[in-house]
Amino acid sequence: MRTLHGRLRSMRKMIVIRTWVAVLMAAAIGGSLCAQQVPQGLYTAAQAKRGEAVYQENCAMCHGPLLAGSKMAPALSGPGFSAKWEKQPLEDLFDYMRLFMPLHSPGGLTNERNAELLAFLLRSNGFPSGQTELPSVVGALHDIKFEAVKR
């Protein structure tokens, strides 16, 4: 028999999934999804701030404290990073982070920490924050394309 905590957790997950399905469907009806059309609500400033702490603790040792890259790892901001992920679903970047990073512990971060980290990377690459947190549910970012913000 599932505990009350387990049932509440399942209900919260289902609400998040249904909310994101509704958001994605509404956006798809209004036009193609891209960072320039759906930046508001893609992640929150608070989520990106938490992601910055995750980055400093788990990623900065290889990618550098300013995301500029090093001899060991590529930059996670700027034109090189944007070119690598341009027109790719955010899900691809999320999955790469989730399955292969950090190098010292591949798959060692929770989906929630990876979503926070992705929010930080989006902020660092010029994507504005909004009022809705980036989802941590696998599959929720498949239809949102990474399109570099033109500066």
What's the rounded mean pLDDT across residues 59-86? Answer: 95
Q: What is the pLDDT of residue 147?
A: 84
Per-residue pLDDT tens digits for 38-67: 445 689 999 999 999 999 999 999 999 999
SS3 for 47? helix
| Percentage of the chain modeled with pLDDT above 70 | 71
Q: What is the DSSP letter of 42?
A: S
Cα–Cα nearest to 132, from 122, 147, 145, 142 = 122
Distance between CA atoms of residues 143 and 21, nearest Å: 10
Q: Domains (ranges, CATH) in the chain? A: 32-124 (1.10.760.10)
Token reading at 117: 């980290």
SS3 for 100? helix
What's the rounded mean pLDDT across residues 123-150? Answer: 89
Is 102's pLDDT higher than 60? yes
Distance between CA atoms of residues 131 and 92, nearest Å: 23
Distance between CA atoms of residues 61 and 72, nearest Å: 9
Q: What is the pLDDT of residue 7?
A: 58
